[in-house]
Amino acid sequence: MKLLIVSPQPEHPPLDAFRVFRALAEELSMRGHTVDYFVEPDPEPREITFSNNVIPDRVFGRGLQLATRLQSSCKRRKYDFLLTAASLGWCLSTFRHWFLCPHTQVLAWHGGTDALPNPSVQPDPSTVNHASNAKQTQWGERLTRWAEKKALETLDGHFYSTTEAPIQVLANHPEVRQHTLFYLPNGVANHYYYPERHQAQARLDLPLRLLTLGSWVHVNASLIDAFIRLHGQYPQLRLSAIQPGMPMEKLLNYFPSAVQTSVSVLPDLTESERVAAYRQHDIYLQTGVNVSGVPLSLLEGMASAMPVVADDSPGVRDILTHYENGLIIPREDSTALEQSVTHLLENPDLYRNLGENAYDYVSRYYTWRQVSDIFEAKLFQLQEARAKTAD
């Protein structure tokens, strides 16, 4: 089969869409499929102005721009499938008669339930960014929801990284065709697996290093508060944050001066540097970030045999069992985070068991080869259904 993957994000780790698409492309290529890849070249977020309103470029402007740029290639190469993000895919699917060959099926990848169009949820007028006022933001969010709803109605398949997402889609949109909704978990690249961690480390030695990844656009208050208190108990404790684009000075301003020397930022890591970061730290924290899919960083931390502590969410519940292969805590609960880390520090057997169980679990179920088996099977299923419809 011939597949075109269009990434709405540039080749700039740790952005999950790019990394998921790259892994699927590599696996399918090794299986003899023809896979072409189109990556957005501009790493900077952009907005365009239309009718005196600011429109989120990812929804309207970029979708039309991509459709136009891909038009001749799609018709010439005659792809069987086109995979992209839902917010971009609606355009290609809606205007497929202009841009695509008739048999091309347009598929959407969703990070989780964060982009699910729920008609009961109204735009939040307080979400104002530097480039728009509240009224413009509301209008842009309505357009975003319209585009996502349009994607549900027109795309040939939707892949979600949580088991809960398709259920929520059907609950909010009973008119959606159930056979177009699929669960596709995220995976872990082989070079992240580190079973040697506990062979080389017989016991917990200070200083211990905590690692986290996520957006600090909205201050991660629970993690900051928890680490300040933890640092008071364990002065040798260290915290590293993988946060591309976050200046060290800005992050340190959130901490008192006595704690700042124990906090560091790891910006814009290459793939090999990212692997090294997991191996050089001891506990992974997935907290304070509003994720609804399965974060690649959480899977990678588990693959490196680290014990993990994660805020409760649908994606987290899909892979973590509390006290079996990780610790799940209430969202934005700094006390629970502090207690969980303290529990790990004071119980070496629990620390070791959770790390080993995490490694065993993801190595058994979440390699990209296994994920690609699921993805390939769904593509064949869609291809067979299209052939029956054509007959």
The pLDDT, as a whole number, for residue 24 is 93
Q: How many CA atoms lie within 13 A of 57 on its CB side?
A: 14
Query: Whole-angstrom Cα distance, residue 375 to residue 31?
Result: 12
Are residues 270 and 359 both part of a single domain?
Answer: yes
**What is the mean pLDDT of the segment spanning 143-148?**
73
User: Which pLDDT band, with edges at 50, 70 and 90, does 104 fall under?
Assistant: confident
The pLDDT, as a whole number, for residue 16 is 77
Are residues 248 and 341 both part of a single domain?
Answer: yes
User: Which pLDDT band, with edges at 50, 70 and 90, does 113 fall under?
Assistant: very low
Are residues 78 and 180 both part of a single domain?
Answer: yes
**What is the mean pLDDT of the segment spanning 347-368?**
95
Tokens of 204: 């917990």
pLDDT tens column, 356-366: 999 999 999 99
361, 319 contact by CB (below 8 A) = yes
Are residues 225 and 301 both part of a single domain?
Answer: yes
Are residues 287 and 386 both part of a single domain?
Answer: no
Asked if the model's pLDDT at residue 290 lies above 90, the reply is no
The structure's pTM equals: 0.84
Phi then psi for 377, rounded to 5 degrees? -65, -40
Tokens of 228: 């300040």
Are residues 225 and 183 both part of a single domain?
Answer: no
Task: Read off the DSSP letter of residue 374.
Answer: H
Give the mean pLDDT of the chain.
Answer: 80
Helix extents (H) in the chain: 16-30, 61-77, 86-94, 96-99, 134-154, 164-172, 197-200, 221-233, 248-252, 257-260, 271-280, 296-303, 314-319, 334-346, 348-365, 368-390
Give me the number of domains the chain comprises: 2
- For the chain, how are helix, strand and coil distributed in percent, rounded to 5? 45, 15, 35
- Tell me the CATH number at 124: 3.40.50.2000
Are residues 8 and 144 both part of a single domain?
Answer: yes
Residue 333's DSSP bridge partners are: none
Say which residue, 352 or 73, is predicted with more confidence.
Answer: 352
Asked if the model's pLDDT at residue 343 lies above 90, the reply is yes
A 10 A CB-CB count for 34 gives: 13
Phi then psi for 387, rounded to 5 degrees? -65, -40
| 175 three-state secondary structure | coil
Are residues 319 and 230 both part of a single domain?
Answer: yes
The pLDDT, as a whole number, for residue 282 is 94
Q: How many CA atoms lie within 13 A of 178 on its CB side?
A: 5
Say which residue, 322 or 52, is predicted with more confidence.
Answer: 322
Phi then psi for 182, rounded to 5 degrees? -135, 145
Tokens of 14: 């740790």
Are residues 125 and 108 both part of a single domain?
Answer: yes
pLDDT tens column, 150-203: 888 888 999 999 999 899 889 888 888 888 999 999 999 999 999 988 775 545
Query: Whole-angstrom Cα distance, residue 5 to residue 35?
Result: 7
**Whole domain around residue 204: which residue ranges?**
190-365
Are residues 278 and 163 both part of a single domain?
Answer: no
302, 308 contact by CB (below 8 A) = yes
Are residues 53 and 162 both part of a single domain?
Answer: yes
The pLDDT, as a whole number, for residue 58 is 45
Say which residue, 376 or 48, is predicted with more confidence.
Answer: 376
Query: Whole-angstrom Cα distance, residue 47 to residue 344?
Result: 45
Q: Amino acid identity of 162? A: T
Are residues 22 and 61 both part of a single domain?
Answer: yes
Q: Percentage of residues in the chain with pLDDT exceeding 90?
A: 44
Residues across the chain: 391
